[in-house]
Structure 1
Amino acid sequence: MMLAFQFQSPGPVFFEIGPIAVRWYGFLIASAVLIGVTLSQYLAKRRHINPDLIADVAIWVIISAIVGARIYYVLFEWQDYVNRPGDIIAIWKGGIAIHGAMIGGALAAAIFARLNKISIWQLTDVLVPSLALGQMIGRWGNFFNSEAFGRPTDLPWKLYIPPSRRPPEYLQYDYFHPTFLYESIWNLLVFCLLMYLFFWGLRHRNRLKVGTLTLIYFIAYSLGRFWIEGLRTDSLMLGSLRIAQVVSIIGVIIGIGGLIWLYRTGRPLPDVVSSKPPINRDAEN
């Protein structure tokens, strides 16, 4: 029974065609992007937003997210790059951070919304369910790479990590917390919550204010990431603080503060535009 819950990566390579190796991580991320764009376009139609905007903003967000994720990681691991600056752009060697990707993607989305005269909150409300789903899928890339795991454990759902991937202080241990699995399950729950609220909002018009889904995503994702980060062995640190936990606390504060602003004051959230978003008259009801 114990063995039934033991995880072990088969390796990072999905398949090879001659000299070309397709890695699981890349395949999963590409799949998450495709599924996410399709889902957000569908949600945009239900919110009477031109779905073509989603495909356009996706390009902005993906590029900015990759750049942001790399810059974020390098800044907090600068001691590893100060003597080899050429590796700063070597993203294929690993080293990205989801919070950096979220910051970079959010900035790109805000600029896009401003240029296209659409509410940033209308836009992000149809993007965050796809973001949660994409994070759920993408975390399995950590499994195949044998990375982003937790402290040693002997629980039934333990994860085997090969010696070459273990931190030096844990070389004598074979099994670790599968934090990739914890976060994947958590993100799936966040996705289900957001989708439920999205369609609840459609049935109860004007009950779910613009920006609510985005703020709930901030809270829900951050709560899960905070406790999961406490188990990990590879956290980005600032002194004795785990940066992901600090950012998670900020995310919860922003989310709760935003909900209080929306539902206690009755005022809309600060936005990049003052006009209403473009309406797609041909969208489905």
Structure 2
Amino acid sequence: MSIYGALIGIGIIIGIELIRKYYKQISYTDILIILVSALIGARGLFLLHNIREIQIGIINPIAVWDGGLAFFGGLIGILLSIYIISKKKKLSFLNILDSTLLFLPLIQSIGRIGNFFNHELYGKPTSLPWGVYVPEQYRDQQYISFTHFHPVFFYESILNILNFAILLLLRKKFKKEGYITAIYFINYSLIRLLMNVIRIDKEYILNLETSDIFSGIFLAIGVLILLNTMENNNIKDLIAKFFSRILTISLIILAIVSILLKTTLPFETELIIATLTFVVPILTIVLFKKLGITSDFNVSKRSERPRLFAVMAISFAIALYIAINSSSTLLIVIFSTLNITFFLGFVITLFWKISFHMIWSILATFFIIYSLQTPQSYLLILFIPLIAWSRLQLKRHSLLQVVAGTLLTLTCIFLVLTFIKF
């Protein structure tokens, strides 16, 4: 067995004993199931990243002891196995998860040291005195002429120890179920996002850097769990208002800026498009509120929406006409999606209240991603569940209305991208 495998084993043994000490309701068999699930998940995600290497025989799918574990795959395995165990034994899912994740950073810290012996998980070249020497055969080809690199494995090991210490301290002070899980998700997601800035051995699926995507997802989940553990509803409402208002508007503004940055139209045309898609709707909302046509800026009452939405529909239709005449595929796709989604939402709202906050936020996120087409832009997807939570927390919508707004928008995006040819 390699030193890497030995260190992983040591970390697991320590973790098992500590978990059993703090949560006696689960047996050694349960912990073994969790560990096996974590191993399968971690190895499975790693193999997905390296399908080509497996096909040509560079990687042995079974040789876990030689390295090759994708952490987030392991975390998903842990979550699934704990969920099954909690249902089978009628125990609290979050309680088991709290006890498991409390000690996971310690196991991770020990395991990261093993990366040193495998000459993996190093960062960009550095001249700092603590830079680690990497033999030539283990170097990334683009950095073949460099000898010393950032010891990312060491940085992450230290940060995981710090995370472990934070969780231990918080566990004594905050007993609410799910709190440790939330803090772990938030802390480790931030650690990975930070480390990814200097990591060079990044892994991709469909040209997306999976670590950033998973980090963002678990960061959002952590925030949502943390918000639900809060007992002060006034603070929760304040945070919800920020997500509902500021975050949604910010996404819309960023979407318009992204679109304009990627178009090559004359400035006057871009100004008209920006006016039609942002200025006209905002001014109409403000004017209708001042005239008493609507009772609030959120247009919460369904009966007040038709006249406002009719004005916006005309404005969006004119923008689509300009887009078609411009022959810009980007603009045609964007404004076709906007008009189709808005029209269907408009029709639905005549009979039933649907969440337009979800429609706007998802459309804006799609427009940003479609315009910029960068892996980083996909991280904005993570704001959507926060906006959904805010609408539920503020009791502006029911869960069904939020889901309906989400599904309607995603369906329209899919239809435009799949069936409409330009």
State the TM-score, normalizing by the size of structure 2. Answer: 0.52
Give me the identity figure in percent: 35
1: CA distance, partners of 2:112 / 2:215: 18
1:87 to 1:24, Cα distance in 2 relative to 1, 3 A: closer
Per the TM alignment, residue 159 of structure 1 is displaced from its structure 2 partner at its CA by 0.6
Look at both structures and tell me which one has the larger radius of gyration over its CA atoms.
2
Structure 2 gap ranges (5+): 234-422
Whether the aligned pair in 2 keeps the contact of 1:148 and 1:234 (CA below 8 Å) is: yes
Q: Does 1:120 align with 2:87?
A: no
Distance 2:57 2:192 in 1: 31
User: Alpha carbons of 1:156 and 1:251: their partners in 2 closer, same or farther (altered >3 Å)?
Assistant: same
User: Which of 233, 241, 248 lines up with 2:215 in the alignment?
Assistant: 248
Q: What is the CA distance between 1:81 and its match in structure 2?
A: 2.6
Instruction: Return the match for 2:164 from 172, 182, 191.
Output: 191
> 2:110, 2:157 within 8 Å by CA — same for their partners in 1?
yes
Higher helix share: 2
More strand by share: 1
* Separation in structure 2 between the aligned mates of residue 141 and residue 85 of structure 1, nearest angstrom: 21
Counterparts of 1:150-189 in structure 2, within 5 Å, are 150-189=123-162
Cα offset, 1:173, TM superposition: 0.5
Larger deviation, residues 238-247 vs 81-90: 81-90
Give yes or no for the alignment of 1:35 onto 2:35.
no
SS in 2 for 1:89: coil
Change over 3 Å in CA distance of 1:85–1:151 after alignment to 2: closer
Query: CA 1:117 to 1:212, structure 2 compared with 1: closer, same or farther past 3 Å?
Result: same
8 Å Cα contact 2:113/2:157 also seen in 1: yes
**1:107 aligned residue:** 80
CA RMSD of aligned residues (A): 2.0
Structure 2 residue corresponding to 1:232, chosen from 196, 199, 215: 199
> What TM-score does the superposition give when structure 1 sets the normalisation length?
0.76
Matched letter for residue 219 of structure 1: I
Q: Match of 1:95, SS?
A: coil
Report what 1:72 is aligned to.
Answer: 45
Compared CA separation, residues 54 and 200, structure 1 to 2 (3 A): farther
**1:200 paired to 2:167:** no
- CA separation in 2, counterparts of 1:176 and 1:54? 43
Name the CA distance, whole Å, in 1 between partners of 2:27 and 2:132. 37
Question: Tell me, which stretches of 5 or more residues in structure 1 are unaligned?
Answer: 1-21, 45-50, 202-207, 267-285
Tell me, yes or no, if the aligned pair for 2:5 and 2:67 is still in contact at 8 Å. Answer: no
User: Which residue number in structure 2 is paired with residue 213 of structure 1?
Assistant: 180
